[in-house]
Chain A
């Protein structure tokens, strides 16, 4: 068992008699101490009108090994900023690095020039300078903040941001814990990028082999013919990452305390660079009450997937005087982050073994339009209905996987595009990859209903297609086939227009797509309404549509929130015009 210690920290965790090291200087913010009573008024969080943040180089230790990090106010994750709806806030950000930095307030509705994206909303924060963000707080919920400069987000430049509602809390709770999920590597982030470019699938150490019998020879041949790897689930994964909860590795076992019978609100934030997690607390059903900071009608589930940059608030009510394991298993099952919810420190619950790596299917290949289920095999129930013949691969493989004719001319199908999904279907109702056959309840986007209807009920007047494109072998990623540095035409919206954006995933990776400065309604077609989000995970070979009210004038970043996809070019700018007089909001 390793201790997460810092060069300034000398607290032994085991048997610390409940003192939790509070008051001792450490790399952890108070709310993320190894054992936390939860968020309480007496714990130092950053609140008020004026908040000071200092971004600096630091060292971070996990699993007994130390590496270079960027911290804010000396802690990783960054301090919890706690605001109240309706207040004004000034955030003074000092850059003590030797490179430019920035803070983007992820999910906050604010004037574009306070959004914190260098080159798009502001010039960035130069070394040795302090920049003051100032804006009114117009919303409530669970959000987060992170760097939008270089690859700083990978090495610790992220933190939670909670805004309490001005009025009554629609989902009341007795205790709360912030759960910041992240991924940590001792490789320099630029080295991670180079490795990905040097060798396709470099980090995947769970590739299909001669000896694993999950696929027929015919299926393997079909995948091989397309030069696609059905085991390619996460570009960067447990072969280099340690997965953290509130800065703690699995062995360090961050523990959140509760009293049996309490309603415990868990504010999940996926602050990872590249890791999509599946969240479950064995033995404890979770009631989802918020997604991306927006209230949803309470819906109970046993497991949910949280893509990068999404947030989910759940309420659990543990009644037994026992510990529960909080498991955040990575989508490719290459590792997990783990924490414990317990009535007392030192208690642990059994940690389930990693489940087998999922294998991509025809639906992930963009063959959803004629999916016969599970990877093109002939399931008995299909055979019984005469849909297919056992032992025969499904016929869909005969489709061209790169037919330029099936996308508009505006999509540049060149070197950087290795696939065009032949028959992509809306996958917002699909269970997430790898959770299709779990016997317990699994959340899908279709389960999310807004607690209050979206303020704009106009139907969208026009629709815009945006193709998510890439080349797995060359590790090139783009929107509509053009990397950001290749001068992609910006996405232009008229102010206050209602527009439907169709995201079409022509790749076999999940992409969490994030639009700055706006919330959108994710089109699920459900009678209970469309959930309101700032980030949507578009499943491999699938589609997701959202309706947007372009009510925020200015220039806004729009990108895949997988850090290295964005860095490889999967980013564009949304321009909403006309601006206010003079350009300043």
Chain B
């Protein structure tokens, strides 16, 4: 019987023109499902049409006949919720109810926990087992990201800025270091800071980061306790929200967000924003309570490889309130628009 079938199928394969009866002991119909032999024009159910298995009848026409029992769709039948009254010649058979969900019997836990110990010896197996179990899931790695290393031109004055971060650790816990700063060519560094944080994963996309921040510039240099949340927000926004308590008792906060809009897979437009807030006046560094500064950037980078991307862009910065006043008192403008050219790289 089987041999005959097989010979028939080979014959059919060799002669494509041969009429191939969709005999559900051997062949399947063109829909990729076993089709009843009597059914020359199989009905096209919506779910099959959706998968492209068949072309439905013209829109106005109702389906020829339902191939699924509407009172018992396949997914419910599969779960054993109901028994469909399937067409008798269909390839699917009524699904017997699924067996009950249950834990293993006592016998399933009998005997030695590690079967291989009885063959090779526990002393031989134990270290290998520990290593192998660890290897499948344990991760230690690092990343160093120079997010921005750029030349800035503002009103004919040239300056520079950098922003970067690095981490070392596993899936849950990492040592996370951040640094940023800016300055003018031929002048002093205007601002420079470094943060050393313990980063703890608190969800699929977010990390809680706590640690220290140290500002080398502006003078007087200050140290802060830092606590923040960093990660990937809905709609693919990279966000970093942090609060800082300085060694002088000043409380400030910083909110950052950026978004990568792929124009092509290599050309990426990145809008970004950074907001600085302060709970009190900090006259020593020219910050006043409330909203102190907003920065908005737009950078267009070209990823030669994902790890190496030069970019062009604009960076707008504006100070508010007394922060702006203190800048004007220093002979600076409250806002500035910089043209930037730089490099993003990571490894």
Stretch at the interface among B112-120, B276-284, B285-293: B112-120
Task: List A contacts of B135 (CB < 8 A).
Answer: 150, 485, 567
Q: Looking across the interface, which residue of chain B has its beta carbon closest to that of A229? A: B236
Q: How far is the CB of A189 from chain B (nearest CB, A)?
A: 13
Is there a chain B Cβ closer than 8 Å to A426's Cβ? Answer: yes
A578 touches B111 (CB 8 A): yes
One of B33, B98, B99, B100 near A444 (C-beta < 8 A): B33
Q: How far is the CB of B100 from chain A (nearest CB, A)?
A: 6
A300 touches B9 (CB 8 A): yes
B112 touches A583 (CB 8 A): yes
Indicate with 1 or 0, residue by residue over A165-194, a CB within 8 angstroms of chain B CB atoms. 000001100000000000000000000011
Q: How many residues of A contact B (CB 8 A)?
A: 126
Is there a chain A Cβ closer than 8 Å to B327's Cβ? Answer: no
Given contacts A373-B50, A484-B137, contact A170 B2 (CB under 8 A): yes
| Complex alpha-carbon distance, A37 and B95, angstroms | 47
Stretch at the interface among B10-18, B186-194, B334-342: B10-18
Task: List A contacts of B116 (CB < 8 A).
Answer: 112-113, 120-123, 554-555
| Complex alpha-carbon distance, A117 and B115, angstroms | 13
Indicate with 1 or 0, residue by residue over B102-114, a CB within 8 angstroms of chain A CB atoms. 1011011111111
Given contacts A224-B236, A227-B232, contact A431 B264 (CB under 8 A): no
Q: Looking across the interface, which residue of chain A has its beta carbon closest to that of B58? A: A384
Task: List A contacts of B104 (CB < 8 A).
Answer: 492-494
One of B105, B234, B264 near A226 (C-beta < 8 A): B234
Task: List A contacts of B9 (CB < 8 A).
Answer: 287, 298-300
Task: List B contacts of A485 (CB < 8 A).
Answer: 133-138
B136 touches A484 (CB 8 A): yes
| Complex alpha-carbon distance, A209 and B118, angstroms | 57
Task: List B contacts of A98 (CB < 8 A).
Answer: none
Is there a chain A Cβ closer than 8 Å to B39's Cβ? Answer: no
Is there a chain B Cβ closer than 8 Å to A447's Cβ? Answer: yes
A315 touches B100 (CB 8 A): no
| Complex alpha-carbon distance, A460 and B100, angstroms | 9
Is there a chain A Cβ closer than 8 Å to B330's Cβ? Answer: no
Given contacts A206-B265, A285-B16, contact A299 B99 (CB under 8 A): no
Q: How far is the CB of B135 from chain A (nearest CB, A)?
A: 7
Task: List B contacts of A379 (CB < 8 A).
Answer: 49-50
Is there a chain B Cβ closer than 8 Å to A374's Cβ? Answer: yes
Task: List A contacts of B37 (CB < 8 A).
Answer: none
Given contacts A425-B75, A526-B93, contact A460 B32 (CB under 8 A): no
Q: Which of A500-558 contact B (CB under 8 A)?
A: 500, 525-528, 543, 545, 553-555
Q: Looking across the interface, which residue of chain A has its beta carbon closest to that of B125? A: A123
Is there a chain B Cβ closer than 8 Å to A207's Cβ? Answer: yes
Q: Looking across the interface, which residue of chain A has its beta carbon closest to that of B109? A: A492
Given contacts A209-B262, A583-B118, contact A426 B74 (CB under 8 A): yes
Is there a chain B Cβ closer than 8 Å to A40's Cβ? Answer: no
Task: List B contacts of A543 (CB < 8 A).
Answer: 78
Q: Which of A432-482 contact B (CB under 8 A)?
A: 436-438, 441-444, 446-447, 449, 451, 459-465, 471, 473-474, 476, 478
Is there a chain B Cβ closer than 8 Å to A124's Cβ? Answer: yes
Task: List A contacts of B60 (CB < 8 A).
Answer: 384
Given contacts A225-B235, A446-B32, contact A555 B263 (CB under 8 A): no
Indicate with 1 or 0, residue by residue over B34-63, a CB within 8 angstroms of chain A CB atoms. 100000000000110111110010011000
Q: Looking across the interface, which residue of chain A has its beta carbon closest to that of B75? A: A425
Is there a chain B Cβ closer than 8 Å to A141's Cβ? Answer: no
| Complex alpha-carbon distance, A136 and B264, angstroms | 56
Is there a chain B Cβ closer than 8 Å to A316's Cβ? Answer: yes
Q: How far is the CB of B134 from chain A (nearest CB, A)?
A: 5
Is there a chain A Cβ closer than 8 Å to B220's Cβ? Answer: no
Task: List B contacts of A120 (CB < 8 A).
Answer: 116, 129, 132
A210 touches B261 (CB 8 A): yes
A575 touches B115 (CB 8 A): yes
Q: How far is the CB of A486 from chain B (nearest CB, A)?
A: 6
Is there a chain B Cβ closer than 8 Å to A353's Cβ? Answer: no
Q: Looking across the interface, which residue of chain B has its beta carbon closest to that of A374? A: B50
Task: List B contacts of A437 (CB < 8 A).
Answer: 51-52
B59 touches A319 (CB 8 A): no
One of A315, A385, A446 near B33 (C-beta < 8 A): A446
Q: How far is the CB of A151 from chain B (nearest CB, A)?
A: 10
Indicate with 1 or 0, residue by residue over A1-35, a CB within 8 angstroms of chain B CB atoms. 00000000000000000000000000000000000
Given contacts A206-B265, A211-B264, A554-B115, contact A300 B12 (CB under 8 A): yes
Is there a chain B Cβ closer than 8 Å to A369's Cβ? Answer: yes
Is there a chain B Cβ closer than 8 Å to A387's Cβ? Answer: yes
Q: How far is the CB of B172 from chain A (nearest CB, A)?
A: 6
B108 touches A577 (CB 8 A): yes
In order of increasing CB-CB distance, the 6 nearest A-B pairs are: A583-B118, A373-B50, A119-B132, A569-B137, A483-B137, A384-B59
Query: CB within 8 Å of A: which residues of B?
Result: 2-3, 5-6, 9-10, 12-14, 16, 20, 24-28, 30, 32-34, 46-47, 49-53, 56, 59-60, 74-75, 77-78, 90-93, 95-96, 98-102, 104-105, 107-120, 124-125, 128-139, 141, 143, 171-172, 201-205, 232, 234-236, 261-265, 306, 346
Interchain residue pairs with CB less than 8 A apart (17)? A117-B132, A119-B131, A119-B132, A123-B125, A227-B235, A298-B26, A319-B14, A369-B75, A426-B74, A447-B32, A483-B171, A495-B108, A525-B92, A545-B98, A575-B108, A579-B112, A583-B118
